[in-house]
Chains A and B, each alone.
Chain A
Amino acid sequence: MAYVAVKGGERAIDNAHALLSEARRGDASVPEIEVAQIREQMSLAVDRVMAEGSCYDPDLAALAIKQARGDIPEAIFLVRAYRTTLPRFGFSEPVESGNMGVRRRVSAAFKDIPGGQILGPTFDYTHRLLDFRLAAGDQSARAAARIADEPTPDTLPTIASVFAHEGLLEVDAPRNAHAEPFDLTRDPMAFPADRDQRLQALARGDEGFLLSLAYSSQRGWGSTHPLCGEIRVGEVAVSFSPDELDFPIEIAELTMTECIMLSGFASMDGAAPQYTRGYGLTFGHCERKAMSMAIVDRALRVREFGEEVSAPCQDEEFVLYHSDNVEASGFVQHLKLPHYVDFQADLQFLRKLRQEYFDAQREAELGAHKEAAE
């Protein structure tokens, strides 16, 4: 009879919060996890929380993961709710990924590219065998990374610059330096969505949702024939031009993941055919997300290329309205709030329909008896 108990009050909420706090701590004989440990040892979870939480702060993201008991969408929500209280003092200069201090960079398009293929810290060629030495705290599980003989070049040319000589890849339209970029945290979604709005929505979007959409595109539901031109992970500088100064100053360094997907050819406005591309960019090290984003970005450019919308991943209202996991999680889960007023209205309607059904049946039976008697 828990339904009756929904009309319960403040005390129930307070008790639930206390119980939650206890559940979060778990067995008190096990040492409590520290935020710094999460930040350092759960760093990919931290990166995802920063990326989808739209807030670059590893300490806050680690705290959110701890508070959320490791529930990543809940941690993303905590970061978003905090972020919304911060003042917005402007927007930065575009980050220059060509100047990224690269830790990892691979291209699937060429065997070798200027600067070389750099694997970096990747799961890609690990054998997915549970390493029980980690469970035992065995120090031999921790292989020391060897310092390279030569340092990585300060900057590595991007795949776009490799293509630039021949004009094989579309180039970005020149940016209007004075145009303020669209900001979904300040303005509601509007359609048709331009590139800035689309990329922001995808960057904040749920990794799982974008992954599945990208996968559906690969399987032929709105295929973009993607080829991974380049994926790079590393540190970029953020510059900002305050109103008081007429030159940009460096204010931060961020770890970012960038992905350029090469896609089907197109000939724009009668020009020579070129590769088109999809673009993915995330805070932190989030390769799966950046690659999915790049595929979905390209799929959503149907209007630009005069393509037909034939699959979900190409439909911007469908994709952009449903990619945010804070919105989605809230609305799906709000179904557990009481709905007994609406339910009572439904129930009344259903009971009336059933009453009519049984009345009609009874009349039909009476009619049949009468006929039989006659």
Chain B
Amino acid sequence: MNAATNTAASNASSEAAYYTHAYLDEQTKRMIRRAILKAIAIPGYQVPFGSREMPVPYGWGTGGIQVTAALIGPRDVYKCIDQGADDTTNAVSIRKFFATVADVETTESTADATIIQSRHRIPELPLREGQIMVLQVPQPEPLRGLESRETETRAMHAYEEYGLQYVSLYENISAFGRIAGGAGYPVLVDERYLMSPSPIPKFDNPKMHLSPALLLFGAGREKRIYAVPPYTRVRSLDFEDYPFEVQKWTQACALCASHESYLDEVILDDSGNRMFICSDTDHCATRRADGHHGSMSDFSLEDAEQSRTGGERP
């Protein structure tokens, strides 16, 4: 395994002493756990909860952080990704937060983690039983784009009145010849509740269907928690003649040659040169460690940066 596994003890600073374990007070954690249990009992239903102000801004993952804080224990191994990557600034920042306030072991390895907090991606490596995926959610209401009033959308869920959503998909087809929406594509959970999967690309939607891992969704600013319990049916909405499709690339990952992963596009210069690489950094690194090589596997972004500032083209 190439992943760096740190013992948290070395990360824990004196800050930890000033806050309770995992930052939140015990009553708040209990309140959140109750919301989580209710969410698991009613798959896909948005449970209102008394979301707290966290030391990071709304929009940075306050919902996911609160869910993690309510769950994390000393034996957990915590992984945090943003856009699939362990090394994006916000993922680094949140991982550091829990290493400090929860004194927990952190990892970049999807396989080793017991709790995986994520913004906008589900890892490529299939999740297993016992793992918990915590997704950060900006807008929990899948119908919000169609109906701005919460009082209305709550009633629509209660009456299972999702016609408006299908009309919207149909309008896509008439406008674009296909169903639009690349991320945050709506799903029906256990054939009952319409749910926003958070802005994961629709590429990741099939990973939720009958997932052996528990999927939890936390929306801090909107104060909602919802869940997909293990082995629950999750269906992406579509029509018989316009079936659900996921993104595909003609390119393979330039670093690990993967044809199956979600790719990021990296701009190399100002003249249109670009490379496509795995969005899931752990997946990519694991494959490279296993001996897979892409067309630009020796390429280093830093070298490219240097050569550019040196006036040369890579």
Q: In residues 303-361 of chain A, which contact B (Cβ within 8 Å)?
A: 317, 321, 326-327, 329-335, 337-342, 344-349, 352-353, 356
Interface string of B218-258 (1 = CB under 8 A from A): 00010110000000000000000000000100000000000
Stretch at the interface among B49-57, B109-117, B186-194, B289-297: B49-57
Interface string of B169-186 (1 = CB under 8 A from A): 000000011101011100
- 10 A-B residue pairs with Cβ-Cβ distance under 8 Å, sorted by A, are A7-B85, A84-B52, A84-B54, A188-B223, A333-B59, A338-B83, A338-B89, A342-B120, A345-B203, A349-B180
CB–CB A337/B90 < 8 A: yes
A345 to chain B, nearest CB (A): 3
Q: Is A80 positioned at the interface, with any CB of B under 8 Å from its CB?
A: yes
Q: Is A8 positioned at the interface, with any CB of B under 8 Å from its CB?
A: yes
Known: A3-B267, A4-B267, A81-B54. 19 other contacts (CB 8 A): A4-B266, A4-B301, A10-B96, A85-B19, A85-B23, A185-B50, A190-B48, A330-B221, A331-B58, A331-B138, A331-B221, A333-B57, A334-B58, A334-B138, A337-B59, A344-B182, A346-B182, A347-B265, A353-B176
A123 to chain B, nearest CB (A): 32
User: Interface size for chain A: under 10, 10 to 19, 20 to 34, or 35 or more residues?
Assistant: 35 or more
Chain A contacts of B82 at CB under 8 A? 337-338
Report if A7-B87 is in contact (Cβ < 8 Å); known contacts: A188-B50, A342-B199.
Answer: yes
Chain B contacts of A352 at CB under 8 A? 178
B28 to chain A, nearest CB (A): 8
Q: Is A9 positioned at the interface, with any CB of B under 8 Å from its CB?
A: yes
Inter-chain CA distance A333–B221, complex, in Å, is: 13
CB–CB B151/A342 < 8 A: no
Q: Is A138 positioned at the interface, with any CB of B under 8 Å from its CB?
A: no
A137 to chain B, nearest CB (A): 38
Chain A contacts of B183 at CB under 8 A? 341-342, 345-346
Partner of B247, one of A186, A190, A348: A348
Partner of A341, one of B55, B83, B87, B305: B83
A3 to chain B, nearest CB (A): 7
CB–CB B89/A12 < 8 A: yes
Q: Is A56 positioned at the interface, with any CB of B under 8 Å from its CB?
A: no
Interface string of B34-58 (1 = CB under 8 A from A): 0000000000000011111111011
Chain B contacts of A332 at CB under 8 A? 59
Interface string of A239-268 (1 = CB under 8 A from B): 000000000000000000000000000000
Inter-chain CA distance A30–B241, complex, in Å, is: 71
Q: In residues 76-97 of chain A, which contact B (Cβ within 8 Å)?
A: 77, 80-81, 83-85, 87
Inter-chain CA distance A348–B59, complex, in Å, is: 25
Q: Is B202 positioned at the interface, with any CB of A under 8 Å from its CB?
A: yes
Q: Is A33 positioned at the interface, with any CB of B under 8 Å from its CB?
A: no
Report if A7-B48 is in contact (Cβ < 8 Å); known contacts: A1-B267, A331-B221, A340-B83.
Answer: no
Q: Is B98 positioned at the interface, with any CB of A under 8 Å from its CB?
A: no
Q: Tell me the nearest residue of chain A to B23, going by C-beta.
A: A85
Q: Tell me the nearest residue of chain B to A77, going by C-beta.
A: B57
Interface positions of B (Cβ within 8 A of A): 19, 23, 25, 48-55, 57-60, 62, 82-85, 87-90, 92-93, 96, 119-121, 138, 148-151, 176-178, 180, 182-184, 199-203, 221, 223-224, 247, 262-267, 279, 301, 305, 308
Partner of A317, one of B85, B120, B138, B149: B149
A260 to chain B, nearest CB (A): 30
Inter-chain CA distance A6–B264, complex, in Å, is: 13
Chain A contacts of B178 at CB under 8 A? 352
CB–CB A7/B182 < 8 A: no
Interface positions of A (Cβ within 8 A of B): 1, 3-10, 12-13, 77, 80-81, 83-85, 87, 185-192, 317, 321, 326-327, 329-335, 337-342, 344-349, 352-353, 356
Chain A contacts of B55 at CB under 8 A? 81
CB–CB B301/A330 < 8 A: no
Q: Tell me the nearest residue of chain B to A88, going by C-beta.
A: B27
Q: Tell me the nearest residue of chain B to A328, going by C-beta.
A: B58
Inter-chain CA distance A12–B25, complex, in Å, is: 31
The 9 closest A-B pairs by CB, nearest first: A345-B182, A334-B59, A330-B58, A188-B223, A330-B57, A342-B183, A84-B53, A330-B59, A80-B53
Chain A contacts of B151 at CB under 8 A? 191-192, 317
**Which among B48, B88, B224 has the highest number of chain A CB atoms within 10 Å?**
B88
CB–CB A330/B60 < 8 A: yes
Inter-chain CA distance A1–B176, complex, in Å, is: 32
CB–CB B60/A341 < 8 A: no
Chain A contacts of B182 at CB under 8 A? 342, 344-346, 348-349
Chain A contacts of B25 at CB under 8 A? 85, 87
Inter-chain CA distance A87–B53, complex, in Å, is: 14
A335 to chain B, nearest CB (A): 8
Inter-chain CA distance A338–B81, complex, in Å, is: 12
Chain B contacts of A342 at CB under 8 A? 120, 182-184, 199, 201
A52 to chain B, nearest CB (A): 12
Q: Tell me the nearest residue of chain A to B185, going by C-beta.
A: A345
Report if A8-B89 is in contact (Cβ < 8 Å); known contacts: A334-B59, A342-B201.
Answer: yes
Inter-chain CA distance A310–B246, complex, in Å, is: 43
Inter-chain CA distance A84–B200, complex, in Å, is: 30
Chain B contacts of A347 at CB under 8 A? 265
Q: Tell me the nearest residue of chain A to B52, going by C-beta.
A: A84
Chain B contacts of A338 at CB under 8 A? 82-83, 88-90
Chain B contacts of A9 at CB under 8 A? 87, 89, 92
Chain B contacts of A4 at CB under 8 A? 266-267, 301, 305
Chain A contacts of B48 at CB under 8 A? 187-188, 190
